Structure 1
Amino acid sequence: MMPTNTFTQTWMPPYTAKTNSTYFGAAGGDILLYTFPVLLAATLGCVYIHLAKTLNDSNVESNRNAKKRESTIWKRPMLTKGPLGIVSATELVFLLMFIALLVWTFIISIQISFAGITAESAAEDGCTIWEEKLSTAASIFGVVGNICLAFLFFPVARGSCMLPLLGLTSENSIKYHVWIGHMTMLLFTFHGICYIIVWAAIHKISSMLEWNNTGISIVAGEIALLSGLFLWIATIPCVRRKCFELFFYSHHLYILFMVFFGFHVGVSGIFFILPGFYLFLVDRCLRFLQSRRQVRLVSARVLPCEAVELNFSKGYGLTYNPTSVMFVNVPSISKLQWHPFTITSNSNLERDKLSVVIKSEGTWTKKLYQLLSPPSTVDHLVVSVEGPYGPVSTNYLRHDTLVMVSGGSGITPFISIIRELIYLNTTFKYKTPKVVLICAFKISSSLSMLDLILPISDNPSDISTMELQIEAYITRDKELKANGPIHPKTIWLKPNPSNAPIQAILGPNSWLWLAAIISSSFIIFLILIGIITRYYIFPIDHNTNQIFSSSLNAFLNMLVICVSIVSVASVGFLHNKKNNAKEAKQIQNLEGSTPTTSPNSTVYNEDRELESFPYQSLIHATNVHYGVRPDLRRILLEHKGSSVGVLASGPKIMRQEVATICSSSLAENLHFESISFSW
C-alpha cells in the first residue's frame, strides 16, 4: 500500500500526527509501523519454537503422525536448471510475488509522481521535463531498493527464529539472500546512475560532493554504493571460486555499506530496513561471543581418502538435529577464516561428543589434513567454533523409504541422518524408514567414508535391525586399490585445561533467552533514544528536521542500537557461561586424563574393530560397484512405495539430475529435498 495515495494521503497524516512525540520525533511512527511488528513476531516466535520443540521431543510418535499429514506437493521441484538452481513451486511463487511487489511499487509511484510534473515545476528546479522525470525515477529506484534491503538480512541470521518459523534453515536460505542481493544492488545502481545523468545534464556534477547537514547526504550514499558494488563484484561465480578469500573478506564491507546508508537516508530510512538487520546484529553478536572461546578437541580420525573427522567434547545439554552445520576456525592455519562443515554425530547417540568431517579439497582443508595426518606430531590444536546451526525439526520419519544420493563429501549430512535413525531404532525400538544410500566416489580409498557411519563409542551401535542398503559406486577405479591403510586411524589430542566443551551459547533454553535478548535490547534502545531525543535533540530541532544534523541523528540511533544489543547479549552470554562452566567441570572430571593411545575397545582397537558385529553388519549392507556411475533414473523409479523421500547432496549437476527425475510425472511418490552447502 505504500506507493498509493490511500496510504500517503489518507492513512499516514493522522498516524504521523499521533506518533510525533518529543521523545522519538517523526521517527516514532516509523518505529511503530516498520520495526516493532517484526521484532514482536520474532520474540513470540522464539517462545513458540521453544514450546513446539519441547512437545516434539516428548512425543516422537505424535510428531511422526503430524508430519505424515504435511502436504508436499508445493515442495516438488519446478525448475531444476538455470541461474536460479533447483527451485520448488513454493519458492518460485514467492519469488514472483516479491518481484510483483517491486514492480507494483515502482509503477504506481511513477504514475503518481509523473502526474504532478509540469514544465513549470521542472523549471523551478532548473530542469526540463525529462530531467525532472529521470530524477524522480532515480528516487523511486532507491525506494524500491530499500524494500529489497529490508529483506536482505533475514536469510543470513543463522540463529534467528524467523527462518525456523517457515521451516527453513540459514543453509538452504542462502539462495534467497543471493537473489535479493542482486535485486538490491541492481536497483541501487540504477538509483545512482540516473542521478549522475541528471546532474551531468543540468551541469551540477558538483552535487556529487555535497554532504548536507540536514536531508539527504549525497557523499554518504556514494560511499555506500561503491562499497556495495565492490562487494557485489566479488560475488561473481568465477571470482568467488578462484578468489574465495577476496569474496569472504569483501563481504565485511556490509558494515561500511549499512553505516553510510544510514547517513544517506536518515533516521526514517533506518527504521524501514531495520528489523532484518536488527535480528542479524543480535545473531552476529552472539556468534562473536561464542567464537572467542577455545573448545576441547579430543581426537581425530584420519581417513586414507584425505579426510579427517574431528571429535569434540560436547556438553550434555547441547542438542541438534541431523544435517546441522558448525563453523570451524583453526588459528594456526588462518585466524580470520571460518568454514562450515556438516555435523555427522548425533546428540542423543553421542551425548558427550560432537563430530565434523572435513574433506581435503581446498587450501585451508589441505593444510588441516597435513597438520593431523601421520607422521604428524601434533598433540594439541587450538580450535574455535560457531554453532551448531540446523533445522529445529526434521521430517524424515514421515516417509516409508529414504533414498539418499550423494557424491564425494556430500555423504556427510546423510551420516548424521543414519545415526539419528540408529538411535531411534536401538533406543526406542522404533520402526524407522528403509534407508537406501547411493554414494558415488572417484577412487576406492573414499570407501573409508562409510566407516564413519559407525560412531566412536565404547558401546558400538547395532545397525543389523535397520533396513539399511548401501550402494557404493567407484567411478575411476576398476577394482579395489589398497596401496596403504584402508581404514581410519584415530589420533588423540591433549586439550588445554582451559578448553571448554562445545555448549549452547544461551544454554538449554536458548530460544527463551533469545526472545529475552531481542525484546529487552529493543526496550532499552527505546528508553535511551527517547532520553537523547527529549533532552538533546528536541531542544535544538523541535521536531522540524531543519536544524539538527540528520547524519548525527542517524549515528546516535545506530550507536544506541549497537550498545543495546551488545550489552544485553553479553549479559545473557555471561549468565549462561557460568552455568556452562559448572557442566564443563563435571565433564572434565568424568573424562579424567586424556589417553595418549587408543582405548582398548572394539572401535579404537583396529584388529577387534574389523571383527566387531556392527562393522560386519555394515559390510553386509554394502554393495560396491567399480568403474560405473549409478543409473539414478532406474534406481529412483524402481521405488514404488507410497512415500519415498529422496535426498541429494553433492555436486550441483548430480543434484539437478535427481531433481529432474523427481519432478517427472512418473515419480509422484518421490519427495525431493536438496542438501547443499555450496555458499
Structure 2
Amino acid sequence: MLQWGGAEVSNVAGEISLLAGLGLWATSFPRIRRKMFELFFYAHHLYILFMIFFLLHVAISFSCIMLPGFYLFLVDRYLRFLQSLRRVRLVSARILPCETLEINFSKTPGLSYNPTSVLFINVPSISKLQWHPFTITSNSNLEPEILSVVLKSEGTWSKKLYQMLSSPSSIDRLEVSVEGPYGPASTQFLRHDTLVMVSGGSGISPFISIIRELIFAATAYKCKTPQVILICSFKNSSDLTMLDLLLPVAGTPSAISNLQIKIEAYVTREKEPSFNNSKLLRTIWFKPDPTDGPVSAILGPNSWLWLGSIISSSFIIFLIIIGLITRYYIYPIDHNTWKVFSYSFRSFLNMLVICICIATTASAAVLWNKKQNAGEADQIQNLEESILSRTSPAGSWLYDAERESESLPHQSLVQAINVHYGERPDLKRILGDCKGPSVGILVSGPKKMRHEIATICSSGMADNLHFEFLSFIW
C-alpha cells in the first residue's frame, strides 16, 4: 500500500485519489447538498487532488480514456476564471416584500443567451469563495442592455444579500463577479400551439424568461405565438408580487396585448388577501464605478469559433511540445526503459504542458477579444439615463391596477390574472381541458409536483400533451 513505483503503477497515488473521490461522493447526497451547501461546495474542490493523483496512479497513456472530457473541462474552467476576475456593473435591484430580489446588471448588446439560462454570481463582501447559480429572467433581444436574475431569500448566502440590499441604509455600490451565462443551446417553445407552464413558488423564475421571449417574438417577428397558460402556486399573498417581474424594469412594448396569456395564481395558505399594500415593490439604483464593466461574452460574439480554435490549437501545441521533449530530452537519456523518468514524472510533465498550453492560448484569445470589443462597452455609458426614461413608476402594478390603467402592457397582464385563495390547482382538470394538436407542459417546482404532472401526461387521457420539466435544485 505504501509503494510508489517508478516503472509500475503507484499504489499511494491511487489511494489518495480514491479518498478524494469518496469525499466528493459522500457530500453529494441530496440532504447534504441542500442543507449544507457550503460543505458540498468546498468538498468538491477535491476534484483537483482526485485528478492529479489519478494521473500519477495510472500514467498518462492509460488516462486517455477520460482525457477528452477533462481537457474540455480545463478549457471551460480557465475561461470562467478569467471572466470572474472582472467586477461587473450592477445597475439596479428590485426588492419584493416576499423576500425576493431581481438584480439588474449592465451587459453589452452583443451578449445573447437563450431563455432558462443561468448565471453564477459571487459577492466578495459575503463570501469570496462561494458561487451560486441563479435563473436569468431577462431576454437578450427584448433587453439588449440589461441582464436580470431573480433570487429567493432562502439560504444563508441569499438571506445576507437580501438584508444588505433591503435595509433602509442600503449600500450604493456592490462588488459582484459573474460566470456565464450558461443555458440550453436552443429552445423549442414556439413549436407548440398551447404552452402550459406550471410553477411552485420561486419556480416561476425560468418562465419569466420564456414569457419575455414570447413578447419579443410577437413584437419583432409579428408571428403567431402559442397561447400561454401560467399556473403558479404560492404560499402567501405577498408572493403574488413575483408576478410584477413578468415585465422588465425598462418598460415593455405595447405588442404584449397580442400575446394570448392567461395566469391562474393560487395562494394555498390564505383564505383571503392579507397583503400589506404599503410594502410594495421598490427599486434601488447603484452608483457607477469606472472599474466595473458590463457583463460580456468572454470570447466575444463569435464564441463558438474562438472556443474551437482554443481547443484545437492548444492541443496541437501540446502534442508538438511533448513530442519534442520526449524525442530530444527523455529518449536519449532513458531509451524507454522507464528507469530514469518514471510513470509519475511523465504524467506530471504532461499535466504541466497541458495547463501551460491551455492558459497561453485561452489568455491570448481573451485579450484579443477584449481589445476588439472595447468600443462596445462605450455604448452603455449613459445606461442609467436611458433606462430611467423608460422605467415604470415605483410600486406594484398588480396591486395598483387603477393607477397603471393608462399603461397597456400592465393593463393587459392585470386583466389576464385570476387569483384563487385557499386552494390548490386541479391539474388533472386543467390539463384535460387543454385543446390543440400540440400542448407543451413545462413544470418548474417541487419534486412532488413534477411527478404528479408527469403521471397525468403519461396516463393516456390525452395524446397531445408533451411533458418537460425544468429542474433548478442544486
Cα displacement string for residues 356-377 of structure 1 (whole angstroms, at most 9, x for unaligned residues): 0111111111111111114133
**Corresponding residue for residue 275 of structure 1:** 68
Deviation string for 1:407-459 (max 9, x for gaps)?
Answer: 00000100000000001112221100000000000000111111111111255
How many Å separate the matches in 2 of 1:629 and 1:460? Answer: 33
Instruction: Give the TM-score, by structure 1 length.
Output: 0.67
Aligned to 1:336: 129
Instruction: Please state if 1:618 is matched with 2:413.
Output: yes
Q: In structure 2, do the counterparts of structure 1 residues 656 and 354 end up closer, same or farther at CA, with 3 Å as the change threshold? A: same
Aligned partner letter, 1:661: I
Q: Which among 10, 16, 20 is matched to residue 223 of structure 1? A: 16
Correspondence 1:500 to 2:289: no
How many corresponding residue pairs?
468
Whether 1:398 aligns to 2:191 is: yes
- Kindly state the Cα deviation for residue 568 of structure 1 after the two structures are TM-superposed: 0.6
Give the aligned residue type for 1:481: S
Q: What is the aligned partner in structure 2 of residue 261 from structure 1?
A: 54
1:665 aligned counterpart, secondary structure: coil
The 5 Å alignment of 1:6-25 reads: none
1:675 aligns with 2:464: no
> Which residue identity is paired with 1:301?
R
The equivalent residue for 2:143 is 350
CA RMSD of aligned residues (A): 1.7
Determine if the alignment matches structure 1 residue 640 to structure 2 residue 429.
Answer: no
CA drift of 1:582 comes to 1.8
1:226-245 correspondence to structure 2 within 5 Å: 226-245=19-38
Residue 380 of structure 1 pairs with residue 169 of structure 2: no
Relative to structure 1, the CA distance from residue 345 to residue 439 in structure 2 (aligned partners, 3 Å threshold; closer, same or farther) is: same
Task: Kindly indicate whether residue 45 of structure 2 is the aligned counterpart of residue 252 of structure 1.
Answer: yes
Quick one: which amino acid aligns to residue 238 of structure 2? Answer: S
Amino acid at match of 1:559: L
Partner of 1:663: 458
**C-alpha displacement at 1:663, in angstroms?**
1.4
Specify the alignment match of 1:561 in structure 2: 354
- Structure 2 residue matching 1:463: 3-state secondary structure: helix
Counterpart-to-counterpart distance in 1, 2:192 and 2:109: 30
Work out whether residues 445 and 486 of structure 1, in 8 Å CA contact, stay in contact via their aligned partners in 2.
no
In structure 1, the gaps of 5 or more residues are 1-207
Which residue type is aligned with residue 243 of structure 1? M
Q: Letter of the aligned partner of 1:400 in structure 2?
A: D
In 1: Cα distance, 2:40 partner to 2:240 partner: 33
1:586 aligns with 2:379: yes
Q: Does 1:449 align with 2:238?
A: no
Q: 1:530 aligns with which of 299, 323, 327?
A: 323
State yes or no: 1:364 paired with 2:364.
no
Q: Distance in 2 between matches of 1:601 and 1:439?
A: 28
Aligned residue in 2 for 1:464: 257
Q: In proportion to residue count, which structure has more helix?
A: 1
Q: Describe the SS at the equivalent of 2:148.
A: strand
Name the amino acid aligned to 1:573.
V
Distance 1:611 1:307, change over 3 A: farther
CA distance in 2, matches of 1:349, 1:431: 17
Aligned residue for 1:586, secondary structure, equals helix
Map Cα deviations across residues 540-598 of structure 1 (whole Å, 9 max, x no partner). 2223445421100000001111111111111111111122322112321x33xx46xx9
Closer, same or farther: CA 484–446 of 1 in aligned 2, 3 Å: same
Aligned-pair identity in percent equals 67
- On the 8 A contact 1:599/1:605 being kept in 2, the answer is no
Local SS of the residue matching 2:256? coil
Greater relative contact order, per chain length (Cα 8 Å cut-off, separation 6+)? 2
Cα distance in structure 1, aligned partners of 2:184 and 2:391: 33
Distance in 1 separating the partners of 2:141 and 2:404:
23
User: Mean alpha-carbon deviation: is it higher for 656-665 or for 552-561?
Assistant: 656-665
Q: 1: distance between equivalents of 2:194 and 2:117?
A: 22
Q: State the Cα deviation string for residues 481-512 of structure 1 (Å, max 9, x = none).
A: 12254542111001311111111110000000
| CA separation of 1:532 and 1:602: change in aligned 2, threshold 3 A | closer
**CA–CA distance in structure 2, aligned partners of residues 610 and 498 of structure 1:** 41
Q: What SS does structure 1 have at the residue aligned with 2:23? A: helix
- AA aligned opposite 2:441: V
Partner of 1:315: 108
TM-score (norm 2): 0.95
Normalized per residue, the structure richer in strand is: 2
Q: Which runs of 5+ in 2 are unaligned?
A: none
